[in-house]
Structure 1
């Protein structure tokens, strides 16, 4: 059963103007009360308005766009309609989760949905357009391949949904998104969901949305109240490894995510952690889809309780029970950092995020703290304290005082040289009678 974040009001799904079959599905899923984003989005989307929604991960946004999509199809489209709704997602994992929830919400309806993602049979995906598949859920890269192959038909599309649009832009899909939108029916409704309000996402929103209603909730830059954020100083890779093993052996957690910046570090950590009898798996972009599916299955069912991953797992993975996130390598910027720690502290549950920081990462940490507008809690593990204590501080006099002293010293030297030069000019000169002193 899908989990629903904590409700924000006494409003119930039964109070929305929805088809009875959708209400039946929400009840079966245990979705009694809408979340803040659902309460804000569903009524506006049902009015066929373009929407730009900014809301943090784990806020219940998937149901916020799926429910209006299903309502539109049941209310306006015949059962044999194909490709009436297109949902774009940045990763295969997020597409799969969206598809799963779509099928649950459409359980009591005749609506069919299908996926177009990498790692799956291309011919079967191309055939979706001839099989009355009303809802297509796709990743941009594979969908472009299907479009170029010639089998995709979005000429009758009513609703285009971009989920985690900011992440798709971060991954370099801007041109793909624009190309996909260009082959869709111009007279359509578009819903754009993002977790940030940076200039890049504003540009794509202005391009694709027509006079949109803006729903800005607590986006990703808002403080993660349910996540305690800590940092530990480390000397080098080996020291970080010791800290990591200690944390995974002493902290209390149901599931833990460990993030690295490279697949090499991911592979280098898996063996030593297993050597400590820890149940660990790894996930990175070079793994084929069957391997990724197998690993994620083990993580979900608890066969393994630690996953070491690159940023391929930072977005779009809704894994229940992740209550510890460790940044073995610090994320490269504040946005990526927040996406990583957003895997925990979801739906009102507490989480712990710990960053291991060496000397080369200190300035990046400072930038992330400015981005967050808060400082990470400094922590030490007594038996594993290292040599690195952070950047060296200047003496109390400071740079300004030092500079001032240097200038004064230079001026003093110059003055002495000037005096000697003036005296030297008078040597050997005869003084005038008026300059001579007389004895009276």
Structure 2
């Protein structure tokens, strides 16, 4: 497993654009508009990239550009603003990184003076993982050039980042919050930025970064080239684009919400969270999945599921916002190396993670947004390989399923799933999702009650160890019978009667006179 940078998109179809159109099956382009880039892009050399860049590309094993690269690279090299619609795995990172490196090479310096290496290209990403991945790609593409690059993100010590920035870098990748921290610390200066890239702008808006983005844009020079990439073009994204892009070239390489035909999509009905957790382990074993990403809507749910899978003997780890940066990076690296079999992730934590030849994804929770469903399953079945997208649902997910089918314009297969739940005392229970279809209401009620009883926190605790020879049926300690009596409002004497034992033990306080009113006389 390794990072994917130059893959073809899932189910990609040519979309409307004012740049070069996607290549056809014979590797040629349709006629472009007058003044547009070359119409026959079949290799990276055809772009006119610097030989040092072509050498790095060849060493990385890239043979021909993907559709997003074929469209974006000539436009970026021409100095135009870009509004690109591209999802993870389409090769968009190389689509903007390669031409940026090419454009900055004339300004590159071999001097050791930090002043000769100001920040000239700024790449903003929503998450630490995506920022780190972009930085690694930039380093790989520029390995044979004197250009310097760095990445800054939150969750780790600022001191090493500050040292790197003060040493001088031409290409800086950052998350919004940590970048502003460094600006306030005066460890970086953005006044000479010539190229700005906003990657996964839709996710940045979802995460509430719009105010930070606006602050960053206000720090930049007005005369610059701006590139924005987003998985979707919502009204909010278009409004953001109008605020800082100047006559941008629209680039779309895939039909919106396109789904790959080579990905098997199946939805399974289950009964509650306990059955869902058991279903995940069952699907992984039954399908012999060697590597899979499991999506959870919540951080708590991701952690619980990972722990349950570990108890089932599976090599699983969770990745979410509550994990430290070091833990997240270690988990991602272990997953990419195959040391971890199951990666349980939230959408935000998994954003930007690209794994080549990922055989399957599992939706432990159906996503709140149908667009996120498309993003999730787009991680499998890449480059023409087959993949599986397996989803679990309960009764309350019916609306979410309908929204997904409406957005994708595809009826998803819903199947019953027999799940064997581990018993608490050596037994096992089996639930079939057929109960959802038909009149099994009473039966489901009994099963639901049993499931809630078995999943009670008290039952998960191990009882204290008994002394040797003690009886397992030992009667509980005696308690005051008053606390076991039902409430009887009609009998006012009950409280007095309950207090009599205490009085007999000499605990009654001596009687004293009490004033009828505060400050009054007795």
Counterpart residue number, 1:211: 247
More helix by share: 1
Query: Alignment length, in residue pairs?
Result: 392
Following TM superposition, by how much is the alpha carbon of 1:78 offset from its aligned partner in structure 2, in angstroms? Answer: 4.5
Which has the higher mean CA deviation after the structures are superposed, 30-39 or 252-261? Answer: 252-261
Counterpart residue number, 2:475: none
Cα distance in 2 for residues equivalent to 1:140 and 1:346 = 30
Aligned positions of 1:108-147 closer than 5 A: 108-147=144-183
2:383 to 338, 341, 347: 347
1:358 to 376, 386, 394: 394
Aligned positions of 1:316-395 closer than 5 A: 316-382=352-418, 384-386=431-433, 388-389=435-436
Counterpart residue number, 1:90: 126
Which has the higher mean CA deviation after the structures are superposed, 280-289 or 371-380? Answer: 371-380
SS in structure 1 opposite 2:184?
Answer: helix
Do structure 1's residue 228 and structure 2's residue 264 form an aligned pair? yes
Following TM superposition, by how much is the alpha carbon of 1:207 offset from its aligned partner in structure 2, in angstroms? Answer: 0.7
Following TM superposition, by how much is the alpha carbon of 1:123 offset from its aligned partner in structure 2, in angstroms? Answer: 2.8
Following TM superposition, by how much is the alpha carbon of 1:303 offset from its aligned partner in structure 2, in angstroms? Answer: 1.1
Counterpart residue number, 1:248: 284
Do structure 1's residue 101 and structure 2's residue 103 form an aligned pair? no
SS in structure 1 opposite 2:88?
Answer: coil
Following TM superposition, by how much is the alpha carbon of 1:270 offset from its aligned partner in structure 2, in angstroms? Answer: 2.2
Counterpart residue number, 1:192: 228
Which has the higher mean CA deviation after the structures are superposed, 197-206 or 245-254? Answer: 245-254
CA 233–344 in structure 1, closer or farther in 2 if over 3 Å, else same: same
Cα distance in 2 for residues equivalent to 1:176 and 1:168 = 10
Structure 1 stretches (4+) deviating beyond 6 angstroms?
none
Aligned positions of 1:238-277 closer than 5 A: 238-277=274-313
Deviations 1:308-330 (A, max 9, x none): 12223331111234221111111
Where do 5+ consecutive residues of structure 1 fail to align? Answer: 393-440
Following TM superposition, by how much is the alpha carbon of 1:198 offset from its aligned partner in structure 2, in angstroms? Answer: 0.8
Do structure 1's residue 68 and structure 2's residue 99 form an aligned pair? yes
Following TM superposition, by how much is the alpha carbon of 1:139 offset from its aligned partner in structure 2, in angstroms? Answer: 0.7
Deviations 1:106-164 (A, max 9, x none): 01111110011112331332344432200000011111222233333111111001111
Counterpart residue number, 1:149: 185
SS in structure 1 opposite 2:433?
Answer: coil
Instruction: Report the aligned-residue RMSD.
Output: 2.0
Answer yes or no: is the 8 Å Cα contact 1:255–1:322 preserved in 2: yes
Cα distance in 2 for residues equivalent to 1:282 and 1:253 = 17
Following TM superposition, by how much is the alpha carbon of 1:388 offset from its aligned partner in structure 2, in angstroms? Answer: 4.5
Cα distance in 1 for residues equivalent to 2:244 and 2:260 = 30
Cα distance in 2 for residues equivalent to 1:273 and 1:390 = 29
Q: What is the TM-score of this pair, normalised by structure 2?
A: 0.72
Deviations 1:363-418 (A, max 9, x none): 111112112221222223356523552699xxxxxxxxxxxxxxxxxxxxxxxxxx
Q: What is the TM-score of this pair, normalised by structure 1?
A: 0.84
Following TM superposition, by how much is the alpha carbon of 1:359 offset from its aligned partner in structure 2, in angstroms? Answer: 0.8
Following TM superposition, by how much is the alpha carbon of 1:292 offset from its aligned partner in structure 2, in angstroms? Answer: 1.0
